[in-house]
A = this chain, B = another copy of it.
Amino acid sequence: MLTEQELNRACIVLVRARNPSNIGAAARAMHDFGFSALRVVNQFSPPFEGARSAVDAADVLKKAQVYATVAEAVADCTLVLGTTAVGERNLQHDLLPLSEAAPRVRSELRRDASARVALLFGSEKTGLSNEELSHCNGLLTIPMQQHEGVRHPSMNLGQAVAVCLYELVRDELVMDPVTNPAAPAPAEILDRLSTRLAEVLEKTEYTRRHPGSCDPAEVRRLVRRMGLNAEDAQIWMGMLRQVMWKLDG
């Protein structure tokens, strides 16, 4: 698990974001995955107020910091990674797929309390410029499907932030799978159920019409394949008992 302190030292830097709803979406993804340090680089006053309505993300937006330049926004960061679409630039940096960049980010965050990582996201239209990329130690990209005739694939800004942050905490936010609490039915109940089913098949003359599928072993396998839990097995027993009662009536 990344600690709260480590998560707080991962800065999401939005460079020239134009759409307030994208700033809000980025803030919401940060909230969802436990990040708090939002930095916005905009030469003019950023389209910020419009984003403040983002549900759940009020805390992140309130603490957001505004910078005039990328250099200022990343000045205190010890690892600066730019996000880019493959093929978008003449790359002069190493480029890692997100899943390989994430462990580097985590190990830098864990190095010590002086470590601070910046993840840069460019504007919706143009991404990060070469000048902006020159402040980066490296680049990462979210692998996407190649579509014929499309040279510059790119993701929606809010979705790209969500996917990147998901990957950063993917193996961290451990969660135990919740399995159905009902215990599997014991074999004895399944045997009784098979017997009961065989009786119904006999009674309804299904057996006479489909002798092939009424071999006792076949019926037993059919019941086993239901994968019943103990509770559901009892329910099926009751249903079949009721059917027999009606057939006998």
Contacts and interface: CB of A to CB of B under 8 A. Distances in A.
Interface in A1-50: 25, 28-29, 31-34
A34 B147 CA distance: 8
- Copies in the assembly, this chain: 2
Interface stretch (A61-69, A107-115, A159-167, A194-202): A159-167
18 contacts: A25-B158, A25-B159, A28-B155, A29-B155, A29-B159, A33-B144, A34-B145, A56-B150, A91-B178, A94-B179, A94-B180, A96-B177, A99-B170, A141-B175, A143-B170, A143-B175, A155-B162, A162-B163
Interface residues of A, number: 44
Contacts of A141: 175
Interface of A: 25, 28-29, 31-34, 56, 86, 91-97, 99-100, 141-145, 147, 150, 153, 155-156, 158-159, 162-163, 166-167, 169-171, 173-175, 177-180
